[in-house]
């Protein structure tokens, strides 16, 4: 895959739709080979490739940095957890999986309540361009939960007087991610994994037709 021709918007869209259930890459692979890129175009290509391939490792890195920075502020740690959950809801696969598992659990205690949490059925109109499918969580649009958890996390950070400290820790984790993604050389396994996930995505799109 030629990452130079992939726009940043495409990478963000791919990260939103891709499966995040895959385990993180091994420690040895994550810290195996480093080299500075030879040009600015090579740096952009490497950055986009590594951000996509090591996405789970980077997500765990952000959580670890925030956890270490807020270890003396339990309320701020809970706020960081709510922020991580709200960001995870932005991924289609995680939101759909969480919704299905949560409704299945509620059904064990109240089938009637579980039925109300089902997403509404959207009619399919022939001859009209297909709009992006709205993702629902517990019967509500996904953005409701994202805004709710983000608001709760901000309240917890203000209450613990650790908002600036959280911002500092978050920026530190982002800097570490950018540095690693810039100097980590893409290996053959990363390229083959990218092609495999592209094939799965195309096959899934064909199966939905």
pLDDT digits 0-9 by tens, 111-153: 888 787 777 765 544 444 444 567 888 878 888 888 998 898 8
Per-residue pLDDT, 209: 47
At 202, the pLDDT band (50, 70, 90 cuts) reads very low
Q: If we measure between CA atoms, which residue out of 18, 191, 154 comes closest to residue 79?
A: 154
- Res. 200: pLDDT tops 60: no
- Tokens of residue 136, six digits: 């629902």
| Maximum distance among all Cα pairs of the chain, rounded to whole angstroms | 61
Q: What's the rounded mean pLDDT across residues 68-75?
A: 77
Q: If we measure between CA atoms, which residue out of 139, 37, 44, 144 comes closest to residue 86?
A: 144
Measure the CA dihedral 35/175/59/152, to 10°: 180
- Res. 38: pLDDT tops 80: yes
- Res. 190: pLDDT tops 70: no
- 171 by Cβ neighbours in 10 Å (0-12 / 13-18 / 19+) ranks as exposed
- Res. 207: pLDDT tops 70: no
DSSP the chain: --GGG--HHHHHHHHHHS---SPPPPHHHHTS-B---SSHHHHHHHHHHHHHHTHHHHHHHHHHHHHHHTTT-HHHHHHHHHHHHHHHTTSHHHHHHHHHHHHHHHHHH-HHHHHHTSPPPPPPPTTSPPPPPPPEETTEEHHHHHHHHHHHHHHHHHHTT-HHHHHHHHHHHHHHHHHHHHHBPP-HHHHHHHHHHHHHHHHHHHHH-
At 178, the pLDDT band (50, 70, 90 cuts) reads very high
SS in 3 state form for 6-64? Answer: CCHHHHHHHHHHCCCCCCCCCHHHHCCCECCCCCHHHHHHHHHHHHHHCHHHHHHHHHH
Tallying the residues shown for the chain, one arrives at 209
Q: What's the rounded mean pLDDT across residues 96-100?
A: 84
Enter the pTM of the model. 0.59
């Amino acid at each position: 895959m030629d990452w130079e021709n992939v726009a940043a918007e495409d990478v963000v869209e791919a990260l939103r739709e891709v499966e995040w259930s895959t385990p993180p890459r091994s420690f040895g692979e994550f810290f195996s080979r480093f080299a500075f890129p030879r040009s600015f175009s090579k740096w952009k290509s490497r950055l986009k490739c590594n951000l996509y391939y090591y996405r789970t490792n980077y997500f765990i890195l952000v959580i670890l940095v925030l956890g270490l920075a807020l270890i003396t502020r339990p309320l701020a740690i809970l706020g960081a957890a709510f922020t991580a959950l709200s960001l995870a809801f932005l991924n289609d696969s995680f939101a759909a999986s969480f919704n299905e598992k949560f409704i299945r659990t509620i059904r064990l205690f109240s089938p009637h309540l579980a039925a109300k949490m089902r997403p509404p059925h959207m009619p399919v109109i022939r001859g009209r361009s297909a709009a992006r499918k709205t993702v629902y969580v517990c019967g509500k649009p996904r953005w409701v939960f994202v805004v709710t958890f983000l608001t709760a996390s901000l309240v917890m950070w203000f209450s613990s007087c650790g908002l600036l400290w959280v911002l500092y820790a978050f920026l530190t984790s982002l800097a570490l991610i950018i540095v690693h993604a810039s100097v980590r050389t893409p290996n053959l396994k990363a390229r083959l994994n990218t092609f495999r996930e592209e094939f799965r995505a195309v096959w899934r799109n064909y199966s939905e037709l």
